[in-house]
C-alpha cells in the first residue's frame, strides 16, 4: 500500500498532479513564442485556445462533442451489457461457458478495428457503424473481467451463503456480484479507454461529423490548431471517463481497504 | 493438606453463600466408573450425571436442540479410499460433542455431511429421527475462517443469519446478537478493520442470531491466539448453555474438546476410535498449569488408544471461578461444585 505524503508536501497534495501538465504547456508556449517551434509544425497553446473559442462560438465544437459522446456511450452500453451478461451467465453455468466461451475467445482475437472496411460497407458512415465498433471493442474487457471476477469469488463465501439459507437470487445479489465487483470495475476502466480509442479511429477514417471528423477535416485545410485541440480533447475525455470509473470504485467498493475512505482512516488491525 | 483446605473453603463458600468463587482447586476422581467405549448408535448419554445438571440444563435444551443420528455412513470422493467408513454416531438434542482426530482423518468431512453440504456415499443421516437430505434451515456452521462478507458491515453480516423477519426486526435481532458477543459498538464497521478474534465473534453472532437448533463448529478457534481462544471457548460455552442448541465441535485441540464438550469422539481411519463422556461440571476453566494441557499434548494417549495409561492418572484439573459463573450461580443450587465428578476413560487406558 502507498504511504501518505510527509507534512509540508501534503498541503499541496491536490495541486501535485497538475504541476507537470502546466509546466509542459508553459514550456511549449515559450518555445512557440520565441519562434523555436515553428507554427507550421506546432501551434502554441494560446492559438489552440483561440481555436477552441472560435469553434465553440460557431457551434461546431459542441456539436462534435455531443455526437461523439453519444456514439461512445451508446456503444459502451450495448457492448458492456452484452459482455456483462455473457460474463455473468458463463461465470455460473458450466454449460453456457462450454457453448460460448471458445467462440467469444476467437472473436476477441480479431482486432476489431480491422473490421472498419466491412463496417463501412454494412452500415455506411453513419452512427451505427461507430456504435457497432465501440460495442465490439468494449464487450471483451467487460466479459473477461466479469467472468474472472465471478470465478474468483471465494467459494467459502458462497458455501457460507448456502448454509445461511440464501436463495439463488440472494446469493447473486449479496455474495457473487459484490465479490466480482472489483474485477468488473477493472474491466470497466479498461473498456472506457478502448471506447474512446475505437471511436476516434472510426471517426477519423469514415465520418461526417464528430471529433475525429473535425480533426481530419482540419488537416485538409492545414488548421493545425484545430488538430491539436482535438487531440487535447481526447486527453480530457479520457481523463473524465477515468474519473467516473474511479468515482464508481470509491462508492461501490467502500468496504475495500484500497478504495474506501473509512478504512483508509482506520487501517486493518 | 492443601487440598483439605481447598475442600473446606469450597464447601464453606458453597454452603453459606452459594458462591463458588473459591481459589483454584483440583478434582481428583476417586472413582473411575463408567468406562465405556461407545460406538453403538442410539445409546443414551451414558455416565452418571448429577441431578442438577440433568434438571436445569437438559430441561431447557430438549425443546431446542436437534438430534443427529448417523447410521453406517460412508463417504468416498471419486475412486479414492473411503474418508468415512461405516460410521455410527448418535448425537442427542442439546449435547455438546467434540470431534477430534488427526488432520485428514475425516472429521471435517463428517461435519460437512451433517451440515448437508455434502451427501454421504452410503448409509443414513437422520435429523430428529427423520432422514435428512441437503441443507437444514435450523443448522448453522461456524467455519475456521470467519467467512464474513467484506462488502457488508458487521451488522449486515449478522443480519444474514436472520430469516423471516422485517428489516427493522432483523436489525434489532442482529444488534442483540452483537451485544451477546460484546461487539455492539462495531456494528457499522467493515469486517476488514476487525481483528481475527473479533471476526470470529461476529461469525458466532451470525450463527446464533437465527436461534439454530444445531451449531456446527469447524475448528472455529484454530487460527486464534491462546488467550483469545480461551475467551472464545468461554463465550461459546456460555451461549450454548443459554440457548440450548446441539453443538458439534470439530477440533484438533484435545484440551479444547475436554474443556467444552459433554462427549469427545475421536475419529481415526474413517471410524470412531473412541467415544468418551466428559461429565465434569461447568464452567470448566483451564488453569495455565493444568494437566489438561498435558492430557491435550499427549494426544498420543488418545490417538494411540493402545498406549496404556497406567494407574489412576489424573486427567483434568479445573478451576471453578471463571468470570462467566455469575449467570449460573443463581440457577444452580448451592454446593453443587462439591459434588464428585468422574472422568471417564477407556478400557484401554485402564489396562
> In this predicted model, what pLDDT tens digit does every residue of B179-229 receive, in sequence order?
988 898 999 999 999 988 899 999 999 998 988 999 999 988 888 888 888
Bridge-based pairing state of the strands B82-91 and B96-100: unpaired
Flag whether pLDDT at B250 surpasses 90. yes
d(CA A130, CA A147): 26
The CATH number assigned to the domain holding A191 equals 1.10.3720.10
Q: Does A57 or B60 have the greater pLDDT score?
A: A57
Which burial class, exposed, middle or buried, applies to A194 when counting CB atoms under 10 A from its CB (0-12, 13-18, 19+)?
buried
Report yes or no on A127 lying in a domain. Answer: yes
For position A57, what pLDDT does the model report?
94
Q: For A84, list phi and psi in degrees, rounded to 5.
A: -65, -45
From residue B282, give the alpha-carbon distance in Å to each of A43, B12, B19, B20, B320.
87, 19, 14, 11, 8
Report yes or no on A13 lying in a domain. Answer: no
**Residues with Cβ < 8 Å from B202, sequence gap 6 or more?**
B146, B148, B154, B157, B158, B178, B181, B183, B186, B191, B194
Contact present, B252 and B103 (Cβ < 8 Å): yes
For position B214, what pLDDT does the model report?
92
Q: Any idea what the Cα angle at residue B134 is, between residues B131 and B139, rounded to 5°? A: 90
Nearest to B10 by CA among B279, B287, B319, B286: B319
Tens-place pLDDT, residues A30-41: 998 888 888 888
Bridge-based pairing state of the strands B271-277 and B263-268: antiparallel
Dihedral sign for Cα atoms in the order B164, A173, B193, A252: negative
Give the model's confidence band at B297: pLDDT under 50 very low, under 70 low, under 90 confident, else very high: very low
From residue B191, give the alpha-carbon distance in Å to each of A223, A265, B173.
58, 14, 19
Using the CB atoms, write b or e for A149-158: b if 16+ within 10 Å: bbeebeeebb
- Strands in B130-131's sheet, in edge-to-edge order, are B82-91, B68-76, B122-127, B130-131
Range of the domain at A109: 60-265
Give the model's confidence band at B85: pLDDT under 50 very low, under 70 low, under 90 confident, else very high: confident
Contact present, B94 and B66 (Cβ < 8 Å): no
Number of H helices, E strands in chain A: 13, 0
Bridge-based pairing state of the strands B139-142 and B82-91: unpaired
CB-based contact (8 Å) between A159 and chain B?
yes
Mean pLDDT for B176-181 is 89
CB-based contact (8 Å) between A17 and chain B?
no
Q: Do A254 and B190 touch (CB under 8 A)?
A: yes
Q: For A157, list phi and psi in degrees, rounded to 5.
A: -70, -40
Report yes or no on A223 lying in a domain. Answer: yes
Give the model's confidence band at B329: pLDDT under 50 very low, under 70 low, under 90 confident, else very high: very low
**Residue of A153, A156, A157, A160 to mutate, interface with B, max B Cβ within 10 Å:** A160
CB-based contact (8 Å) between A268 and chain B?
yes
Q: Do A162 and B141 touch (CB under 8 A)?
A: no
Q: Any idea what the Cα angle at residue A90 is, between residues A85 and A94, rounded to 5°? A: 155
Give the model's confidence band at B288: pLDDT under 50 very low, under 70 low, under 90 confident, else very high: low
Contact present, B331 and B22 (Cβ < 8 Å): no
Report yes or no on A169 lying in a domain. Answer: yes
Residue with cell 480533447: A233
C-alpha cell at B108: 471435517
Q: Do B193 and A156 touch (CB under 8 A)?
A: no
pTM, two decimals, is 0.70
**Residue of B139, B193, B201, B211 to mutate, interface with A, max A Cβ within 10 Å:** B193
**DSSP structure string for B122-159:** EEEEEETTEE--S--TTEEEE-SS----TTS-HHHHHH
d(CA B339, CA B335): 7
Tens-place pLDDT, residues B34-51: 333 333 333 344 444 433
- Please, what is the end-to-end C-alpha distance for chain A in angstroms? 15
For position A3, what pLDDT does the model report?
58
Q: Do B151 and A255 touch (CB under 8 A)?
A: yes
Size of interface A-B (CB pairs under 8 A): 63
Contact present, A116 and A202 (Cβ < 8 Å): yes
- Is the preceding omega at residue B283 within 30 degrees of 0, hence cis? yes
Rounded to a whole number, what is the distance in Å from the CA of B140 to chain A's nearest CA? 6
- Residue-by-residue pLDDT tens, chain A, 269 positions: 455 666 677 778 888 888 998 999 999 999 988 888 888 888 999 999 999 999 999 999 999 999 999 999 999 999 999 999 999 999 888 899 889 999 999 999 999 888 888 998 999 888 899 999 999 999 999 999 999 999 999 999 999 998 888 888 889 999 999 999 999 999 999 999 999 999 988 888 888 888 989 999 898 888 899 999 998 898 888 889 989 988 888 888 888 877 765 443 444 43
- Domain parsing of chain B, residue ranges: 29-138+212-311+338-350
- Please, what is the end-to-end C-alpha distance for chain B in angstroms? 31
CA A106 to chain CA centroid, nearest Å: 23
Minimal Cβ distance to A163: which of B140, B149, B195? B140
Closest chain A residue to the Cα of B206, Cα to Cα: A164
Size of chain A in residues: 269
Q: Do A157 and B147 touch (CB under 8 A)?
A: yes
Give the model's confidence band at B9: pLDDT under 50 very low, under 70 low, under 90 confident, else very high: very low
CB-based contact (8 Å) between A7 and chain B?
no
Residues of B contacting chain A (CB within 8 angstroms):
115, 117, 135, 137, 139-141, 143, 145, 147, 149-153, 160-161, 163, 190-195, 206, 210
Report yes or no on A47 lying in a domain. Answer: no
Rounded to a whole number, what is the distance in Å from the CA of B13 to chain A's nearest CA? 43
% of chain B exceeding 70 in pLDDT: 63
Size of chain B in residues: 351
Report yes or no on A259 lying in a domain. Answer: yes
Q: Do B135 and A163 touch (CB under 8 A)?
A: yes
Q: Do B149 and A267 touch (CB under 8 A)?
A: no
Residue B247: beta bridge partners?
B96, B215
Select from 3.40.1160.10, 3.40.50.300, 2.40.40.20, 3.40.47.10 the CATH code of B29-138+212-311+338-350: 3.40.50.300
For position B106, what pLDDT does the model report?
85
CA A230 to chain CA centroid, nearest Å: 17
Q: Do B140 and A262 touch (CB under 8 A)?
A: no
Q: Does B246 or B38 have the greater pLDDT score?
A: B246
Flag whether pLDDT at B109 surpasses 80. yes
Rounded to a whole number, what is the distance in Å from the CA of A119 to chain B's nearest CA? 43
Report yes or no on A229 lying in a domain. Answer: yes
Domains held by chain A: number = 1
For position B55, what pLDDT does the model report?
36
For position B255, what pLDDT does the model report?
86
**Residue of B139, B145, B149, B173 to mutate, interface with A, max A Cβ within 10 Å:** B149
Q: Does B349 or B277 have the greater pLDDT score?
A: B277
Report yes or no on A149 lying in a domain. Answer: yes
Amino acid at each position: 500500500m502507498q504511504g501518505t505524503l510527509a507534512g509540508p508536501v501534503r498541503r499541496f497534495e491536490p495541486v501535485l498532479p497538475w504541476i507537470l501538465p502546466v509546466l509542459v504547456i508553459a514550456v511549449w508556449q515559450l518555445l512557440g513564442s520565441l519562434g523555436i517551434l515553428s507554427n507550421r509544425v506546432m501551434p502554441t497553446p494560446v492559438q489552440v485556445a483561440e481555436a477552441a473559442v472560435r469553434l465553440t462560438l460557431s457551434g461546431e465544437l459542441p456539436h462534435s462533442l455531443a455526437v461523439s459522446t453519444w456514439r461512445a456511450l451508446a456503444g459502451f452500453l450495448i457492448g458492456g451489457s452484452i459482455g456483462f451478461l455473457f460474463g455473468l451467465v458463463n461465470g455460473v453455468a458450466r454449460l453456457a461457458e462450454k457453448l460460448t466461451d471458445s467462440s467469444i475467445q476467437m472473436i476477441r482475437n480479431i482486432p476489431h478495428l480491422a473490421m472498419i472496411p466491412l463496417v463501412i460497407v454494412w452500415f455506411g458512415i453513419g452512427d451505427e457503424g461507430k456504435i457497432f465498433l465501440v460495442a465490439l471493442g468494449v464487450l471483451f474487457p467487460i466479459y473477461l473481467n466479469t467472468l474472472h471476477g465471478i470465478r474468483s469469488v471465494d467459494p467459502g463465501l458462497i458455501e457460507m451463503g448456502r448454509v445461511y439459507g440464501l436463495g439463488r437470487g440472494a446469493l447473486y445479489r449479496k455474495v457473487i456480484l459484490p465479490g466480482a465487483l472489483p474485477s468488473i470495475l477493472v474491466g470497466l476502466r479498461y473498456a472506457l479507454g478502448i471506447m474512446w480509442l475505437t471511436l476516434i479511429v472510426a471517426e477519423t477514417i469514415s465520418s461526417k461529423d464528430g471529433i475525429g471528423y473535425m480533426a481530419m477535416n482540419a488537416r485538409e485545410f492545414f488548421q493545425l490548431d484545430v488538430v491539436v485541440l482535438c487531440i487535447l480533447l481526447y486527453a480530457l475525455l479520457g481523463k473524465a471517463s477515468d474519473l467516473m470509473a474511479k468515482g464508481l470504485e470509491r462508492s461501490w467498493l467502500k468496504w475495500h481497504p484500497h478504495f474506501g475512505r473509512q478504512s483508509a482512516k482506520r487501517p486493518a488491525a | 493438606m492443601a487440598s483439605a483446605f481447598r475442600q473446606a473453603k469450597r464447601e464453606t463458600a458453597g454452603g453459606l453463600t452459594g458462591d463458588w468463587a473459591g481459589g483454584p482447586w483440583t478434582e481428583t476422581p476417586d472413582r473411575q466408573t463408567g468406562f465405556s467405549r461407545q460406538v453403538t448408535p442410539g445409546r443414551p448419554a451414558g455416565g452418571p450425571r448429577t441431578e442438577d445438571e440433568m434438571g436445569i440444563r437438559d430441561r431447557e435444551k430438549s425443546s431446542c436442540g436437534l438430534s443427529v443420528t448417523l447410521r453406517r455412513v460412508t463417504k468416498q470422493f471419486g475412486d479414492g479410499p473411503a474418508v468415512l467408513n461405516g460410521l455410527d454416531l448418535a448425537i442427542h438434542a442439546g449435547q455438546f460433542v467434540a470431534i477430534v482426530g488427526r488432520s485428514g482423518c475425516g472429521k471435517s468431512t463428517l461435519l460437512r455431511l451433517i451440515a448437508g453440504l455434502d451427501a454421504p456415499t452410503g448409509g443414513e443421516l437422520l435429523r430428529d429421527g427423520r432422514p435428512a437430505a441437503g441443507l437444514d434451515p435450523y443448522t448453522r456452521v461456524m467455519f475456521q475462517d470467519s467467512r464474513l462478507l467484506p462488502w457488508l458491515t458487521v451488522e449486515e453480516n449478522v443480519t444474514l443469519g436472520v430469516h423471516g423477519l422485517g428489516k427493522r426486526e432483523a436489525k434489532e435481532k442482529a444488534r442483540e446478537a452483537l451485544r451477546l458477543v460484546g461487539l455492539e459498538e462495531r456494528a457499522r464497521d467493515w469486517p476488514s478493520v476487525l481483528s481475527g478474534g473479533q471476526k470470529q465473534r461476529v461469525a458466532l453472532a451470525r450463527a446464533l442470531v437465527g436461534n439454530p437448533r444445531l451449531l456446527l463448529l469447524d475448528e472455529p478457534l484454530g487460527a486464534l491466539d491462546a488467550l483469545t481462544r480461551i475467551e472464545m471457548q468461554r463465550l461459546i460455552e456460555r451461549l450454548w448453555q443459554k440457548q440450548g442448541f446441539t453443538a458439534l465441535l470439530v477440533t484438533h485441540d484435545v484440551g479444547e474438546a475436554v474443556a467444552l464438550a459433554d462427549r469427545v469422539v475421536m475419529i481415526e481411519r474413517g471410524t470412531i476410535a473412541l467415544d468418551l463422556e466428559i461429565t465434569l461440571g461447568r464452567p470448566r476453566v483451564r488453569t495455565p498449569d493444568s494437566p489438561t494441557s498435558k492430557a491435550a499434548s499427549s494426544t498420543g494417549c488418545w490417538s494411540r488408544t493402545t498406549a496404556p495409561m497406567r494407574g489412576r492418572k489424573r486427567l483434568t484439573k479445573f478451576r471453578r471461578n471463571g468470570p462467566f459463573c455469575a449467570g449460573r450461580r443463581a440457577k444452580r443450587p448451592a454446593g453443587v461444585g462439591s459434588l464428585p465428578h468422574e472422568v471417564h476413560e477407556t478400557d484401554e487406558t485402564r489396562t
